[in-house]
Structure 1
C-alpha cells in the first residue's frame, strides 16, 4: 500500500471504527451447536472472537478455533453476516459466522483456560437460555443459512432480504 499523505491520514482518522467478530458453528450428530462459556461475561458463546487488525474474518474464525478449542477447523461457507448497533460503550459491530462442520467422534477439545471455563453442545430449544435473545437469533439464523445453503444478512437481529 502506498504511503498516505498527512491530509489523507487525518481524513481516515475521522472515519468510524467498528468491531469485527468471527466464529464457527460446529455441530454434533444431532444438530446441536458447540458453545463455550467465557470467564469474563455471563452466558455462552460460539467459538470465535475479535478479528485482529489486518486479519480477514475467515482467518480469524480459524485462529479462534485453534486458540479456544485446540482444533484446526478450516471454516466452510459463510452462514451469517450480522450488523449490531449497541449503545456506548459497546458500539456497533459486524459478526461473521462460518460453517465449522461436525465435530468428529473422538475429537479432543482443549479449552483456552485464560478465557473459557467449559464447553458443551446446545440444542435449539436452549439457545435463548444460553446465548441470550440477541445471540440466539444469530445462531438460529446461521443454522437457517446452513440448511438453505445461503448466507443470511441481519441488521440488529432482523433479516435483510
Structure 2
C-alpha cells in the first residue's frame, strides 16, 4: 500500500467504522444447527465472532471455529451477508455466515471456556427461542442460501433482490 499523506490520513479518520462478524453454520444429520451459549450475554449464537482488523471474514470464521469449538472447519460457501443497523451503543455491522458443513461423526467439540458455557444442536422450530428474532432470521436465511446454492443479502432483516 502506498504511503498516505497527512491530509488523506485525516480524511480516513472521519469515515464511519462498522463492526464485522463472521460465523459458521454447522449442521447435524437432522438439519439442526450447532449453537453456542456465551457467558458474556444472554441467548445463544452460532460459532463465530468479530473479524479482527486486517482479517478477512472467511479467515475469521475459521479462526473462531478453532478457538470456540476446537475444530478446524474450512468455511464453505458464503451463505449470507447481512447489514444490521442498531441504535447506540451497538451501531451497525455486517455479518458473514459461511457453510460449516456437517459435524463429522465422532468429532470432539472443545469449548473455549473463557467465553462459552455450552453447545448443542438446535432445530428450526427452536431458532427464535435460542437466537431471538434477529438471529433466527439470519440463520433461516443462511439455510435458504444453502438449500438454493446462493448467497442471500439482508438489510435489517429484509432480503435484497
Q: Indicate whether the TM-score tops 0.5.
A: yes
- Aligned residue number for residue 145 of structure 2: 145
| Deviation (angstroms), 1:147 | 0.2
Measure, in 2, the Cα distance between the counterparts of 1:104 and 1:56.
Answer: 26
Distance between the aligned counterparts of 1:4 and 1:135, measured in 2? 39
What residue number does 1:6 align with? 6
Q: Does 1:76 align with 2:68?
A: no
SS at the partner of 2:74? Answer: coil
Superposition CA RMSD, Å: 0.3
Deviation >2 Å, runs of 4+: none
TM-score, normalization by structure 2: 1.00
Q: Per the alignment, in what secondary structure is the counterpart of residue 132 of structure 2?
A: helix
Alignment of 1:155 with 2:155, yes or no, is yes
Compute the TM-score of the two structures, normalised by the length of structure 1.
1.00
Q: CA deviation at 1:2?
A: 1.1
CA deviation map 1:2-35 (0-9, x unaligned): 1110000000000000000000000000000000
Question: Structure 2: 5+ residue runs without aligned partners?
Answer: none
Superposed CA offset, 1:36-59 (max 9, x none): 000000000000000000000000
Task: Give the corresponding residue for 2:104.
Answer: 104
Report how many aligned residue pairs link the two structures: 161
Unaligned 5+ runs, structure 1: none
Q: Name the residue aligned to 1:31.
A: 31
